[in-house]
Every structure is written in C-alpha cells, then in structure tokens.
Amino acid sequence: MKTEPDFRTPELDALAQQVIPKDHFVFSADTARDRFFNDTRMLDVKQDVHNRFRTNPTSMIDHMIANLRLTGTEDLLDLGCGNGFILEHLRPHLAQGTITGLDIAPAVLEAARQRLHGTATPCTWIESSADELSMLDEDSFDRIMANYMIHYVPDLDRCFTEVRRVMRYGGIFHLTTDRPDSMLEMYDVHFTALKAMDAPQHLFKATPKGRLSLANGTGILGRYFKKVEKVVWQDQLRFTDPEPFMRFYTVGHNHCCASSEPDARLNEAFFAELRDHVRTQVVAAIEKEGYFAVTKYTGTFLCR
C-alpha cells in the first residue's frame, strides 16, 4: 500500500495558528457565475499549476478515482463541474456509464461540453445551481460529486436534501474541500504584504472554503447522511521561479480574494504594490530554500 506524503511540521502548524484568521470570505453564487467563472481562466491556471508544481506523486484525480470505486457502469452527477477537467479524467472509468455535469456558469459548462464532445460515454449538461435539482428524477445517480464548489451554494440544506433524493441506495456523495489552513504559505506572504501596506482590515480573511471545510464538514454532512467518511491527503506545490506562483496568486486566487469583487477602496496601484511585496518575499524564500512551498491540506467526504 502506498503511503501518503506528510508535509506538516511543527513550524507550519505554529504558523497556521498565527496566520489564518477565524473569519472567512463569503461569496455568492452570482459572483461565482458572473465574475470568477465567466471564462475558464481561473480554473485553467489552478489546474495547470497543480499539474506542473505538485510533489505528491498521486494526483488529485488519482485520489478521486480511488475514492469513487467505479465499476464502469455508474450514472455520475457532477455538481459545479467547471470546465470538465475532472470529468475528462474520470470518463474512461465510466465506459458503460453516464455523466451529468451541472454548473451555474454557462461559460465553463460550455467548455466542459466541448471537452467531452464525441466521447463514448453519454453526457448531459445542465445549467443550474446545485441547490436546484428539481429537473432530476429521484434515485437516478450512483455517484454524485461536489468538488471545491460547495462554499458557493446558497442553500446547503436544500442541496444536501436534494442530493439524497436523487442518489440511489448504495450510492456515494463525494464532496471535496480544503482545510482552512491549506496554502498557508500563500496567505502568510499575502497578509505580511497587507500589513506592510497598512491595508484595510476587511481583507484579513481566510479562504471561503471555511464555510464547509475539512475541519467542520463531518458535523454538517452527518445531519443528512448515515455515514460520513473523511479521506484526507496533502500536497506541496514547489516553485523555483516566482512567476508561475504569481499567476496562481493573482489569476487563480484573485490575490487571496482581495480582488474578487469591485472595491472602491482598492485601485490598480494598490494591487501593483501588493504584488511587489508578495513577489519580494517569494524571491527571498527561493534564494534561501531553493523553492517557495505552498502546502495543500485537502480531502474528500464520502457520504452514504
């Protein structure tokens, strides 16, 4: 059996206590649809950076394939399927099954449709919010996924109640999210830069995934599902050049959410200065350590 890499150190745990705020950002599904996912740029950058800079030899997709225990004949529903990156990799494992991809953002849904066009697995694409599944029949899916998207869903109670309605007996609901201190080093350089600039206090917030994270998800999901199993894994992105990290930070994560929504208090000069402060710290870490590390604490709840 393969052992999972463990990147945690007492120093990183201590840093997490200092750096990660208790409050987290909250974004609406409308913001997700109209700003973050009105094109595929954000997803493309994140996916590219994870593929190129990860150090865990087992990829996110490998972890998901192991978790989903597919026999090849399942009907799978992917809530917030994005640009279909995950579905493309799962598809060969569903050669006699079906795929239904659902997303609130038409631009990424179209990218997913094109990505899987012409493959042998029948695919259906639905533009909707994950808490509005009335178009789906009850007991119609063997696997339902919600990967890195649940923090955007307005009505979690309705979403999980609907997931139970459309999931067949013996099915698995696969919900992937992060720990609130995931990517701690990115938040550390970001908050250090904000402090140096005496930036507004409302920017000092943690990842929006804090809404339903690996830390609080078991209790929330336990209200809807008989059995909730948590499978966790870590990864560490290592950058020996600051520029790919800067793309990840600015385009992939909107400057740790500081540029996620229009804010009259922040202009382009503010973000240029912020990037300078962040880049300086990343360059210093590369010179000292040989690379800048971004540690990921991620995982999946398998709900039955």
Ligand X SMILES: C[S@@+](CC[C@H](N)C(=O)[O-])C[C@H]1O[C@@H](n2cnc3c(N)ncnc32)[C@H](O)[C@@H]1O
Question: Which residues of this protein are in contact with ligand X, per CB under 6 A?
Answer: 29, 32-33, 37, 43, 79-82, 85-86, 103-105, 108, 129-130, 147-149, 152-153
Nearest approach, Cβ of residue 200 and ligand X (Å):
26
Nearest approach, Cβ of residue 136 and ligand X (Å):
13
Q: Return the H-helix or E-strand segment holding 10.
A: helix 10-19
Nearest approach, Cβ of residue 130 and ligand X (Å):
4
CA distances to 172, 207, 298 from 82, in Å: 20, 19, 18
Comparing CB distances to ligand X, the nearer of 141 and 291 is: 141
The CA-based dihedral angle spanning residues 258, 262, 267, 270, taken in that order and rounded to the nearest 10 degrees: 0
Nearest approach, Cβ of residue 108 and ligand X (Å):
5
Comparing CB distances to ligand X, the nearer of 144 and 199 is: 144
Comparing CB distances to ligand X, the nearer of 47 and 236 is: 47
Comparing CB distances to ligand X, the nearer of 81 and 258 is: 81
Buried residues in 140-164 as b, exposed as e (16+ CB within 10 A): bbbbbbbbbbbbbbeebeebbebbb
- Is-contact 160 224, C-beta < 8 A? yes
E strand segments, the chain: 75-79, 98-103, 123-127, 141-147, 167-178, 228-239, 292-303
Q: Of 116, 93, 109, whose CA–CA distance to 43 is shortest? A: 109
Comparing CB distances to ligand X, the nearer of 121 and 147 is: 147
Nearest approach, Cβ of residue 294 and ligand X (Å):
17
CA distances to 129, 140, 147 from 159, in Å: 9, 16, 14
Comparing CB distances to ligand X, the nearer of 32 and 94 is: 32
Q: Which two tokens stand for residue 55?
A: 């150090």
Report how far residue 226's alpha carbon sits from residue 237's, in angstroms, rounded to the nearest whole number: 35
Which residue is nearest to ligand X, using beta carbons? 82
Nearest approach, Cβ of residue 145 and ligand X (Å):
7
Nearest approach, Cβ of residue 248 and ligand X (Å):
13
Identify the residue whose tokens are 């990343």: 282
Comparing CB distances to ligand X, the nearer of 148 and 191 is: 148
